[in-house]
Amino acid sequence: MSTTRIGDLRHARGWTQERLASESGVGLRTVQRLEAGSEGSLETLSLVAGALRVSVGELFANIDDAEFGDRVEALDSRAREQQSARDRTVTAWRWLYIGIGVVLTVFSFTMGPAGLVLFLAYWSGGLLILIALGRIILEPRLDARFPLSRSKRQLRDQRRAPLAKTTGDVEQVS
């Protein structure tokens, strides 16, 4: 049996078991079982690791089963690869927006007053359209294609959530 560090990691964040269950999207009983040393699926461990912002391998002090250890390492590696691929895709879309904007900006200088309208419309309206398309079309497709990755917005919200939840009230650690 592998020794988990889930309880220690949870305590270090000042979270209750209920809070970890809520943040990770798994049941309270599942968190209790994992902390007691029961084995969980790699999907469950991935959700818990994501909530605690650590790799799946970091959930364990030691992994006794070599096959399970290999699977955990493979999952962590796959998660890093998927996050990297997702980030490259999002960056490519941003650079496409900037590239088109540069071309339109140069073109707008040749159009006189109408060019100013084109310039302002693209850089302001285009940005809003880019953000909307990203959230409505691109993010769901990236979520489906790279299930072990998170969008920058999801990562930011996950970082902010502990601050927002702990500023109003003090939680008791179980």
For position 67, what pLDDT does the model report? 73
pLDDT at position 161, please? 60
pLDDT value at residue 30 = 93
For residues 30-62, one letter each, b for 16 or more C-beta atoms within 10 angstroms of the residue's C-beta and e for the rest, the string is bbeebbeeeebebebbbbbbbbbeebbeebbee
AA identity, residue 29: R
pTM listed for this prediction: 0.66
pLDDT < 50 regions, the chain: 1, 167-174
- Which DSSP helix (H) or strand (E) runs through 4? strand 3-4
- pLDDT at res. 174: 44
In this prediction, residue 103 carries a pLDDT of 95
**What is the SS3 assignment for 130?**
helix
As a whole number of Å, the CA-based R_g of the chain is 22
